[in-house]
Amino acid sequence: MKTNKFNSTNYNDWLRNLRIVLDFENQGYVLDKPLPVTLPEGSSPEERLTFEKWHEDNRKVRSIILASMTNEIQKQYDRLEDVPSIMLA
């Protein structure tokens, strides 16, 4: 990711490399699934763990994404808090 930073002209190559890294880390799902905003009342312990893991993975993947962009592009996206928002922007 260091040598192939997103620079607005290499989106397809950048995304392919990003998916390779995230698939290796078992975090690729964060790119494609919507952020669970709230945890329903009465959620099971398993649902709570899934919710917490999603938010933790979102934080990690967001950092990877921002670190894999040029400084100029980082500044455009660093205000966005979740990965789906970054990917759809």
Tell me the three state secondary structure of residue 35.
coil
Per-residue pLDDT for the chain (89 aa), expressed as one digit of tens each?
777 899 999 999 999 999 999 999 999 999 998 888 899 899 999 999 999 999 999 999 999 999 999 999 999 999 999 999 999 98
Instruction: Show Cβ contacts of residue 70 under 8 Å, excluding neighbours closer than 6 positions.
Output: 5, 6, 7
Q: Packing angle between helix 11-24 and helix 45-67, nearest 10 degrees?
A: 140
The pTM is what?
Answer: 0.90
For 55-75, the DSSP string reads HHHHHHHHHHHHHTB-HHHHH
